[in-house]
Amino acid sequence: MPNRLINEKSPYLLQHAHNPVDWYPWGPEAFETARRENKPLFLSVGYATCHWCHVMERESFEDAEAAAVLNRSFVCVKVDREERPDIDTLYMAACQLVTGGGGWPMTIVMTPDKKPFFAGTYIPKQSAMGRFGLIELCNKITELWQQSPDRVLESADALVGHLADAFVYSADPADPDPSVITQAVKATLDRQDTQFGGFDTAPKFPMAHRLTFLLGAYARDKDARVLAATTRALTAMRLGGLWDHLGFGFHRYSTDRQWLLPHFEKMLYDQAFLAMAYLEGYAATGNPLFSQTAREIFTYVLRDMTDAQGGFFTAEDADSEGEEGKFYVWSQAGFDAHLASDEAGTPWGRILNVQPEGNFLEEATGHKTGTNILHLTDAWDVWAQRLQIPADTLARQWEALRQRLFATRVKRIPPLKDDKILTDWNGMMIAALAQGAAALDRTDYLDAARKAAGFILERMRDANGRLLHRYREGQAGISATANDYAFFIMGLIALHRADNDRHWLERATELQGRMNLDFQDGDHGGFFLTGAGAPDLPVRPKEIYDGAIPSANAVTLHNLLHLGDLTGQTQWRAQARDLIRAFGGSLRRQPVAYLHMLDGWRRYAAER
């Protein structure tokens, strides 16, 4: 029998609708039940395309023994982090405070008044190697809840107090200081991987807004080291296994330094921000590989991730047939079967690093799987020189082979597509397509951006004109967060810049006014993530930190500067100044954590 999640719209929640766990969606019924039965709540947060979420589901949530213990110990609540980024943001902050890290699936145990007292991520069913298993954890927490409830409540109150502090930032009335930007550039360059490209060590995330920050800094200072680091990163990501060489688009992140082994899920927000980074990289360097990459990202999105009504889908899974990456990898025999006789002289196996034993290592064991992730270790022009054939000849041969391989791959069982439409992520892709239309002279990109913007404006607002967050199967719902306003306004501004239609600018100014009313912190400045009428959480989160995507406050800073420039109205620039000052102290202390906000500082200072 299905549980209560069967009535939800989220593909992630529907994945769990037939678990033996008696799941509740987030809502009053769950918390009232917990109060009535005097039970803590077990909150599990994930998303539909998350590999380790699938692992925990198979090990525990589909397991009758584990489900019985969960149902006996807790009221169990499932949340799709993409539907409820506010819930995810708050409790991920709790997880980081408790454990020093975070990730998904996220596991929280809380009181019936939503105060957390335990936090973690993936938890195996059974204890092993000094690590708590889920069943033992349930029994320990039940014992503590029943025998020492005062200790639990005291701990929960203390953690909520720390949570409130986590969303407090220090102001500074001074104007932006160029030396802070210089400091952030140096700190970022100090983290670059000069051997394999990109920044930091494994795992490596694309972090497109870090690249656009560096490109903005290069435009200001013309420091060749900055451009070299950015170009190296853009090139390495495009050549490696992070890039889908057959169907296009970027996977989520690389588990290794070499950009070879990705987590295979594809997220809409990565496609949007990386397209913008490659477009800006192309503008700075003229490198045709960068413009080609942006075009191919758009090819993937418009082919595979676009609803007939114009909205863009959320993500594609890492797993198919229960295995991560199975859809994307090739045995040598399977690859060789696609080689045409007239290509016999071209060493495609060497070019694309296809090996008899495979180059795809199973992440948990490190063992080779016998399959290969297609990737390049040298660019196509290097191979053309090495093989002494014209570059355009090699490109034509590769395109013919790519199409044959792709035609075979589409016959495989595909990963799940999370086909919900999110306002904020759509705003990102609208902005990317509009920027691409202008940079690459592509009217089809502009048409797609216009259609998506029209869809959001027509189908994803309530009767009062406020934005809604999620659309799926004909139903729009869930109150918008500040992210939805910030990123959709960003998209509308980019559309106006691309086609000079004032309709988009008027809608952007209208929505910025609404955002000011519903989300602005009148006491300390900046914008809360949740609206004024959303008393759903024990703490109202506010963000400026750059995670996988920039914060709503950082994006809004850029939006305000654009609105001031485009309308000539001084109120927008004054509001941008106030936003800078609201977070100025925090930015000066730790600038490398807030690069997109700092890039707004740079723009503000340049326009004085």
Instruction: Choose the final residue of a domain: 411, 445, 475.
Output: 411
- Give dist(CA 153, CA 159) in Å, integer: 10
On whether the CB atoms of residues 139 and 69 are closer than 8 A, the answer is yes
Beta bridge partners of 417: 316
Domain-embedded: residue 110? yes
Domain count, the chain: 2
What is the model's pLDDT at position 2?
A: 95
What is the model's pLDDT at position 369?
A: 83
What is the model's pLDDT at position 274?
A: 98
On whether the CB atoms of residues 504 and 562 are closer than 8 A, the answer is no
Instruction: Choose the final residue of a domain: 411, 442, 469.
Output: 411
What is the model's pLDDT at position 438?
A: 97
CA nearest to 416, candidates 5, 15, 2: 15
Residue ranges for the chain with pLDDT beneath 50: none
Q: Which residue reads 């953690």 in tokens?
A: 159
Domain-embedded: residue 24? yes
Domain-embedded: residue 161? yes
Beta bridge partners of 204: 254
Domain-embedded: residue 438? no
On whether the CB atoms of residues 485 and 512 are closer than 8 A, the answer is yes
Long-range (24+ apart) CB contacts under 8 A made by 440-445 are 440/279, 440/291, 440/294, 440/295, 442/295, 442/298, 444/302, 445/298
What is the model's pLDDT at position 407?
A: 97
CA nearest to 19, candidates 67, 74, 75, 77: 67
Domain-embedded: residue 374? yes
On whether the CB atoms of residues 417 and 300 are closer than 8 A, the answer is no
φ/ψ region of 441 (left if φ > 0, alpha if ψ in -120 to 50, else beta) reads left
What is the model's pLDDT at position 132?
A: 84
Give me the domain span that covers residue 373: 328-411
Measured CA distances, 300 to 88, 306, 367 (Å): 28, 9, 31
Q: Could you tell me the CATH number of the domain that includes residue 29? A: 3.40.30.10
Q: Which residue reads 């991987």 in tokens?
A: 193
What is the model's pLDDT at position 363?
A: 65
Which amino acid appears at position 128 of this protein?
Answer: A
pLDDT digits (tens, 9 = 90+) for 280-316: 999 999 999 999 999 999 999 999 999 999 999 999 9
Domain-embedded: residue 199? no
Q: The pTM is what?
A: 0.96
What is the model's pLDDT at position 345?
A: 79
Domain-embedded: residue 69? yes
Q: Which helix (H) or strand (E) holds 602?
A: helix 595-606
Which amino acid appears at position 69 of this protein?
Answer: V
For 543, the 3-state DSSP assignment is coil
Instruction: Choose the final residue of a domain: 137, 166, 195.
Output: 166
Task: Specify burial of residue 407 (Cβ count, 10 A radius: 0-12, 13-18, 19+).
Answer: exposed
